[in-house]
Structure 1
């Protein structure tokens, strides 16, 4: 990674309430979090479960997609909310902050490549990456890093995507990518390497996608659930469709755009959705997907403090990340 594309973790931001300096049962994340400069040769030991946070401080994709900029500050805001989260897991869990990928010069491709390199490094060290966006162009760099790590191990990346999103993000890219093109770019990557493109999108809004995008999704074999189907409490049907998709792939990249959530709970996003999903439904489906034990990484994108109210969206991101980590710990018997 080039120096101007990466910033080592600033551990001074990890601070908050301290109930005890000795009793681990009273610890919060800021007391357990360690820093990891990805440019250093030595990596920390992940223990029985290693979780690595890395930020993608980028608005360039949103800017190109004509959205509301501000998500580049999302990683900082989410970390502040995570600082006081309780350590609801055993001391066999390792938490590290692996710093931030930057996009200061508008070179989105270089920044996405740097994120891919960071994710691949994190995976090789045995950690589960949680990427904090940034615009949802985050997903392309994250996917490429996961795919590279899988190819190193298995020779081919069998990697399905489950995306919580109001949008397909399958738009054409005549010149360059944006926060609306990532999954078309991933499909092109897969085709070039003779790999399958497996994509499931949960939370699609009919009012936010053109008919051509629905046609494109059909052409590419994309599976999806409309937000209205979730609102109609068709939980069993959604679970069955998720299970069928997960059964058909060995590894899962889990990604979430905050604009999938109702704006009553997530006002601080690039494109607000008044009829978006309820947080309880999202968390329920996230935990079900994680119980498959196939998820290799999670990213959350488009948390924009600029448009937030009382940090509601950042706090929601915190709750979802806590839920992801808790589900991973429960899989390994490390939850307390």
Structure 2
């Protein structure tokens, strides 16, 4: 049984109704189904493809990192923005709300362990996890759930993080924060004789110490500076991404909302005047997904208390919409190829 877990209320998913019978007119709030991950009668999904949303109501790591807390309320604000999105996919694609990990009274380590169990449970149910953070400490709990599922199969996981920060600061003396997760993942992999495959897109030089750049070089961390997403050609960025993905079995995509400038994402812990353009991020995300290796996704550090007009939550919902519709498109194309092959035979 999952600990510190709550089923999401169906009342969260409400919105405009254009039709209740025409699928092409439906919105996400009409298509999503609420599930309880602690329901032992749940069976693994056996349809074409399913996404499951998990909320991680935690910003302990941000507080420990001396940042602006508030991201624990992120899942609620993101769900509100997701509700009215149109179903731009076939009826074979299913959406499930898999509830929330609530972390009041827990240590950061305990909260991350709870999230890891929830992610692993979703994978066991044959669904694609989309985790709604929470601070970017979400990434360590999310990865541990993936690791628990894929490591026994000897399948490695490449992490592609969209972030202004490396988040690889030392942690062993004072414990983990929202700035240490990827060093913790590195150490977890080392302890288990697993390669560390990590790429960061959107790094800001003014937001990372020289020591962090040294750590990246020493440990083979690939990164693309924020300014390179403006000054370099898209094909050259694709080449770097392709080279990284070619060396891994699966890809986990994680986004910290502070990778975008405050013009697009004011509701974050560490706002910045500069950042990756969301349109560029969407192009890169679609390219990553086109490799058909993605197994999970999260969006972190959406903080409603600083979010003017729900701008950041709205951007988060558009990024999730991109992931869902692109993956759905890939599934549909693969099915068409499979059917053509069967017809030829």
Q: Do Structure 1 and Structure 2 share a fold, with TM-score over 0.5?
A: yes
Q: 1:46 to 1:62 in 2, by over 3 A?
A: farther
2:31 and 2:221 mapped to 1: Cα distance? 40
Q: Does residue 167 of structure 2 align to residue 169 of structure 1? A: yes
Q: Does residue 129 of structure 2 align to residue 129 of structure 1? A: yes
What residue is the counterpart of 1:330 in the other structure?
329
- Kindly report which structure 2 residues correspond to 1:28-47, keeping only aligned pairs within 5 A, or say none: 28-43=27-42, 45=45, 47=47
1:293 and 1:169 mapped to 2: Cα distance? 27
- Kindly report which structure 2 residues correspond to 1:1-336, keeping only aligned pairs within 5 A, or say none: 1=1, 3=3, 5-43=4-42, 45=45, 47-152=47-152, 154=153, 156-173=154-171, 174-333=173-332
Offset of residue 106 of structure 1: 4.0
Structure 2 residues without counterparts, runs of 5 or longer? 336-345
Offset of residue 157 of structure 1: 4.0
2:2–2:38 CA contact under 8 A, matched in 1: no
1:46–1:93 CA contact under 8 A, matched in 2: no
2:46 and 2:285 mapped to 1: Cα distance? 23
For 1:200, what is the secondary structure of its paired residue?
strand
1:270 and 1:46 mapped to 2: Cα distance? 39
For 1:252, what is the secondary structure of its paired residue?
strand
Which range moves more in the overlay, 125-134 or 235-244?
Answer: 235-244
Q: TM-score, normalized by length of structure 2?
A: 0.94
1:150–1:157 CA contact under 8 A, matched in 2: yes
1:131 and 1:42 mapped to 2: Cα distance? 23
1:233 and 1:175 mapped to 2: Cα distance? 39
Offset of residue 2 of structure 1: 5.2
For 1:178, what is the secondary structure of its paired residue?
coil
Provide the aligned C-alpha RMSD in A.
Answer: 1.3
**What CA deviation, in whole Å up to 9, does each residue of 1:234-287 have, x standing for no partner?**
322211010000001111111000000111010000101211111100000000
For 1:177, what is the secondary structure of its paired residue?
coil
1:23 and 1:234 mapped to 2: Cα distance? 42
Which range moves more in the overlay, 104-113 or 25-34?
Answer: 104-113
Offset of residue 8 of structure 1: 1.1
Which aligned runs of 4 or more in structure 1 are off by greater than 6 angstroms? none
Q: TM-score, normalized by length of structure 1?
A: 0.96
